[in-house]
Structure 1
Amino acid sequence: MSRKRFWIATGGLATVLMACPARTPAPPVTPPPLQVPPGCEKSQTGTYHHADNPAFRYLGEDDGGTLTLAVTRAREQREAAPDAGTTVNIVLHRTPEGFVGNTQATTFTPGGIACPVLFPTEAVRCDDQGLTLRSVASTALDEDCRPAPQGPAPTWKEQRLLRGEPAQAPDAGTPDAP
């Protein structure tokens, strides 16, 4: 009889387990689609120069999600050097809100204090010739490197970066003293 009880118990247990409702798996989480200007979904890796001042050069590295542009300034008879001794980088991320990020730079207060700043920046156009960026061009800071309570509002400006080396000699600005 113990064998009979074993099979009855096993059958009862199987019936109970089969009667339990199965859990439905949660639907997969899909991230919202990226909203970048046409052409900006492609890799933007490469060298660029500023359309209005070819002395400003940009080295772009793109991993498919983030574009980093390191800014340099070319000098006559010399290799490109960091811009005015300060590091300037543009970092843009492909997101559902656009191809957005910031320009990381150093600016100075009226008293001469160096302040690291982040200027909001976005790519508004990507094509075979280059990139068009829109960025805050200037802002007012107090002596503690905080946004000044008074002063002009931040101004936005578009900048066109062209692929490759410029066709003409760069405007290297004022020559260095001999």
Structure 2
Amino acid sequence: MSGSPKLEDIYRAHHPWLSNWLQKRLGCHAQAADLAQDTFVKLITKPKKFPNLQEAKAFVTTIAKGLCIDHWRRKQIEQAWLENLKLAEEYRHIDEVAQRAIIDTLIILDEWLAKLPDDVTRAFIASQVQGFTYAEIADQLQLSERTIKRYIAQALVHCAQLIDD
């Protein structure tokens, strides 16, 4: 093959390997198939030229690793929600469609908050989710109340900007 490999060559050369690789990591054939396809969809949406198939494989692997991390993170969020659902009597009546919407919202919020510094995220969650006062959060994080107010404002502005986008 001369020149850059085409997408179909990359797909043919690496899809079977990628599917097996993902299957070993995920333990689920269907999930592996979905993530393998998602990997190549990302490659289609952001085309890139590679000098050879080996370079393409390295890039495909990087994309797939990122998708695995996202998958596991979503699974952790979903599991945490379901565990909390068992403990919270007032939420037990929520139907599956509403639960899915809540989980999807939590996943999006997690992605947004992951872009903020850890202390800002902790302060925001403590305030908005756990209901702690600014003074309690300041005590927990060993920061001033003024800093906590600034952190909460920063997180709210960040989320508002992402909603606008």
More strand by share: 1
Q: Whose helix fraction is larger, Structure 1's or Structure 2's?
A: 2
**Which of structures 1 and 2 has the larger relative contact order (alpha carbons within 8 angstroms, sep 6+)?**
1
- Shared fold, TM over 0.5: no
TM category, shorter: under 0.3
The TM-score with structure 2 as length reference comes to 0.25
TM-score (norm 1): 0.23
User: Which structure's CA Rg is the greater one?
Assistant: 1
